[in-house]
Amino acid sequence: MEAQHLSPCFWYNVIMKKKDRFFILKLIALVLAIAIAVFAIVLRFGGASGEVLPDGTGSIEPPIADIPPEPPDSGLNIDNNGDNNTNSEDNIQGGTPDGIVDNGTSGSNDLVGFKNITAHEWLADIRIGWSLGNTLDAHDGPVGFSWLGGGIYANTSVTELETGWGRPVTRPEHFTAVKEAGFNAVRIPVTWFKACDADLNIRMDWMARVKEIVDYAVENDLYIILNTHHDDSLFKLLDSEIEVSKSNIIKIWSQIAEVFKDYNEKLAFESLGEPRTAGSPDEWRGGTPEEHKNLNILNQLFVDTVRSTGGNNAERVLIMPTYAASANETAQRAFVLPADSTENKLIVTLHSYEPWNFALRTGEGSITTWNANNSNDTDPIKMYIDLAHEIFISRGIPVFMGEMGAINRDNLEARVAWAEFYTSYAKSKDIVCFWWDNASYWVLRQRDWGWEQTFGLLDRENIEIAHPQIVAALMRGIS
């Protein structure tokens, strides 16, 4: 049968005959609803602002980052009176510090304002480094500052946490003075356990203060090392405690890395400061196989945790120590370089104060003399540097002396000769040095609590170099 031609007139007649006055309106509403739904789907999955997947399809836009609760007064307007009272327990909380922007790049490998250099190139750019010692790393064990009335760290202000060992509040001028003296890198040791709650959430005001000090170094265009220091209570190396330590290193470094993930390549992270079992027979003898195994595990977790935070951390230079950061042969040979998702970004750090009787020892047996023409004086320096060159550098693994220095025993001439020889010999083996400056620039003295080690080069009160002759010797050694 021949199909009937349904003309517009036919439909009009049907509609009019049924006298359905709302049919057309219903039809229009249906078409509009379908159009709106299609448009919404296009915006959600195929819009130009979404990422494009490898197969050419559009990805879902990332959600807007959660905005953390407004923290209490961070106490960043710090003066030398130490009268910023941020004592509330409400200060103990995790999250992003006030003023730190989360741009939603977590998990991304996009590098922002980041020069993608290797670990070798990173070290090669450093002439010599300086440490902000005995400042952010000040602590009084797990209970709090006894001379501030005891109690817990939750009731300790940011200024008290920074100046607990008698050092002044850190200022931008300190980094300017160091740079003008010839140093182009700074190591910023930080103790974190003192600013954590029971779940290891870092106080936001403490994190903000650490960030502020790092920014002082950034403003001076310095290379920067940020670490965990004196946090032995969190990162223990015995089999009976390693599971807790593994959880702790993930918790602490995930928070630090998240805050600093958008900083450029001049910022490096150092996993642990002198990790060891305090009071054990092998504490300063290189450690035991059990401790070596567990330290290697923690260093691997450190690398994995930092990388997982994304941003510039995906390619950031990372630094790991040997056991106790010791330069002795046992510790150096036991170190295992972690696996990494990116190539040539890992560095080993060592500490070496040699000859020990001259550079570090206090009390009976210490000496005040040192002579570059005496092999008994020079061999202890050369031995550990040569060992590091053999074990690491000859195998393509960069290494540096994260701490070195010689105590002030009112023996300036000997210290000047020592400083020039040490840095010169280290440079000949491609090893960069960082002077440990604990802001004690006076002559070694015994206090009621013991001997005060005096490595200071910078007078932080007057912001001037206290021992320009030693600084000049360090610069001659690397020239």
DSSP conformational letter for 48: T
309 and 419 together in one domain: yes
373 and 444 together in one domain: yes
355 and 227 together in one domain: yes
138 and 53 together in one domain: no
- Decide which of 36, 59, 82 is a domain's last residue: 59
The pLDDT value recorded for residue 36 is 63
The pLDDT value recorded for residue 443 is 83
Identify whether 42 is part of a domain. yes
The pLDDT value recorded for residue 6 is 43
144 and 38 together in one domain: no
**Residue 58 is encoded by which pair of tokens?**
């559009």
Q: Rounded to two decimals, what is the model's pTM?
A: 0.78
Q: What is the mean pLDDT of each run of 10 residues along the chain (479 residues)?
A: 43 46 58 60 40 31 30 32 34 39 38 91 98 94 55 80 94 98 98 94 97 98 98 96 98 98 98 96 97 98 98 98 98 98 98 97 93 98 98 98 97 98 98 96 71 89 97 97
Identify whether 358 is part of a domain. yes
Identify whether 22 is part of a domain. yes
The pLDDT value recorded for residue 80 is 32
152 and 268 together in one domain: yes
Which residues 6+ apart lie within 8 Å of 265 measured at CB?
114, 115, 116, 117, 122, 312, 315, 316, 317
State how many domains the chain has.
2
Query: What is the distance in angstroms between the CA of the first residue and the CA of the last residue of the chain?
Result: 104
373 and 278 together in one domain: yes
Dihedral sign computed on CA atoms, order 379, 384, 386, 387 = positive
DSSP conformational letter for 58: B
Radius of gyration of the chain (CA): 30
**Residue 460 is encoded by which pair of tokens?**
């932080």
Domain extent at residue 49: 1-59
Which residue of the set 258, 265, 291, 403 is catalytic? 403
Spatial separation of the C-alpha atoms in residues 356 and 276, rounded to whole Å: 19
Query: Could you tell me if residue 425 is left (phi over 0), alpha (psi between -120 and 50 degrees) or otherwise beta?
Result: alpha
- Decide which of 42, 59, 76 is a domain's last residue: 59
The pLDDT value recorded for residue 35 is 65
Q: Does the annotation count 464 as an active-site position?
A: no
Residue the block writes with tokens 């918790």: 251
Identify whether 111 is part of a domain. no
Which residue of the set 274, 291, 315, 420 is catalytic? 274
The pLDDT value recorded for residue 30 is 66
Identify whether 339 is part of a domain. yes
339 and 468 together in one domain: yes
**Residue 374 is encoded by which pair of tokens?**
């005496």
48 and 135 together in one domain: no
Identify whether 94 is part of a domain. no
Q: What does 205-264 look like in DSSP terms, one character per residue?
A: HHHHHHHHHHHHHHHTT-EEEEEEES-TTTS--STTTHHHHHHHHHHHHHHHHHHHTTS-
Q: What does 252-315 look like in DSSP terms, one character per residue?
A: HHHHHHHHHTTS-TTEEEEEEES---TT-TTTTTT--HHHHHHHHHHHHHHHHHHHHTBGGGGS
Identify whether 247 is part of a domain. yes
CATH number at residue 352: 3.20.20.80
1 and 145 together in one domain: no
Strand partners, 263: none
Q: What does 128-159 look like in DSSP terms, one character per residue?
A: -EEE-TTSTT--BTBT--GGGT-S-GGGS-HH
Identify whether 455 is part of a domain. yes
Q: Does the annotation count 70 as an active-site position?
A: no
The pLDDT value recorded for residue 329 is 98
295 and 176 together in one domain: yes
Spatial separation of the C-alpha atoms in residues 144 and 164, rounded to whole Å: 10
